[in-house]
Amino acid sequence: MSDPSSVDPADYPRKVLLVAGAGRSGTSTMAGLMKILGLHVPQPEVAADESNPKGFGEPQWVVDHHDRLLKEALVQVSDSRPEAWFETGRVSTREPERIATAEWLEGHFTADEGHSELVVKDPRLAWFLGLWRVAAIRTGAEPVFATMLRPPAEVVGSKQTYYANKLGSAHLAASWLNMLLHTERGTRVGTGADAGARVFVRYGDLLDDWTRTTMHVGETLGLQHVLHANSEQIRDGHRFVDPSLRRMQQTLADLGLPPRLHELVGQTWEELNRLAEPGGDTPEVHATLDELREAYTDLYAEAEAISRSSVVHAEQRTRRQGPPPRPDTAPARPARPAGTPVGADRLPHGLRAAVPAPVRRGLRRLAGRERS
């Protein structure tokens, strides 16, 4: 990290750093460090909470944007279905969404004093990598990708602890597998000038030696703010990184996964680790990950076919229970006991007598209680 005195940040080329990875993988730590080192996290941000007391580093607009698109595509944040990628890909290609995303980026490139390098981070981001790639290019920026890697057993344990997730280890492990296999494919550098660079970062490496790890990220992705960080920013980074954040120590064997799923998760983690090594992002690793992605797709299709009866049973039970009551529906009034006075009869006789007789008769006719 060099002396920035001769470098004008306004002259840095535009870049959009897209921080991807499964939730609870260290994406917040990466985004937070990038912000400390000078990159801009568009405001306002999602507020910190007990699950992430140092902040998420997530622009609120991005989270809301992704939530809306996921809802429209009928896709969950932790969706284990391979076909879910086709659904999010479909909404990502819509021109109005591309325009809105590019306009939002452009607004933050030019806002205030201007920002040349932006950070976009959200656990939902991987579902819309194509959308962000196109939007960045339309603003004249280069999209670059940092994918965080954390052992899948630790991700599952962290989600179960901090998100009160009740879907079970097998589902969470499958969703991790689905997310990482397709994120790797979606960030794979092509041959075009606008393909964008990428880097894979182990969460453990970031906690153990964040300065060396972020320098590698900066050099690989050409992030000028990182390469020209000053000593005060480095001190702030040391205060920000907490090695004790890695609280989950369980292993894959602790999850009790179905054998074939266990095997695929283990093999995928091994190959992803190779991508994090210097010179490890090779065609050979890509080919192996392609095979693993196809194998997972086959496994999921088999599971769907076998479990069809469970799906039908759940649908039947839901129909039998009926839709939940509408919250704005007023409760039914209890039956009125026979002989209970109603309407004007509740008034004392003296007060009723003060009302002129013609008026009383007119009111009775309106109420359908005209005397015979």
The CA–CA distances, whole Å, from 127 to 85, 183, 199, 221 equal: 7, 8, 18, 21
**pLDDT above 80 (res 270):** yes
Which residue range(s) make up the domain with 105?
4-306
Question: How many domains, in total, are found in the chain?
Answer: 1
On whether residue 70 sits in a domain, the answer given is yes
On whether residue 297 sits in a domain, the answer given is yes
Tokens standing for residue 304: 């769907």
pLDDT digits (tens, 9 = 90+) for 323-347: 666 655 545 555 555 555 545 454 4
On whether residue 246 sits in a domain, the answer given is yes
Mean pLDDT on 178-198:
80
On whether residue 319 sits in a domain, the answer given is no
DSSP code, position 325? P
On whether residue 178 sits in a domain, the answer given is yes
**pLDDT above 50 (res 192):** no
In this prediction, residue 246 carries a pLDDT of 65
H helices within 111-168, ranges in order?
A: 129-138, 152-162
Neighbours of 356 (CB within 10 A): 9
The CA–CA distances, whole Å, from 367 to 12, 124, 329, 353 equal: 79, 59, 26, 18
**pLDDT above 80 (res 67):** yes
| Percent of the chain predicted with pLDDT > 90 | 66
Bridge partner residues of 52 (DSSP) = 49
Neighbours of 217 (CB within 10 A): 22
Mean pLDDT of the chain: 86
pLDDT digits (tens, 9 = 90+) for 214-232: 999 999 999 999 999 999 9
Tokens standing for residue 293: 């992605």
User: 124: domain CATH number?
Assistant: 3.40.50
| Percent of the chain predicted with pLDDT > 70 | 80
DSSP code, position 127? G
Which carries the bigger pLDDT value, residue 340 or residue 88? 88
On whether residue 334 sits in a domain, the answer given is no
Given a contact cutoff of 8 angstroms between Cβ atoms, the answer to whether 268 and 181 are in contact is yes
On whether residue 365 sits in a domain, the answer given is no
**pLDDT above 90 (res 261):** yes
Mean pLDDT on 137-151:
97
On whether residue 60 sits in a domain, the answer given is yes
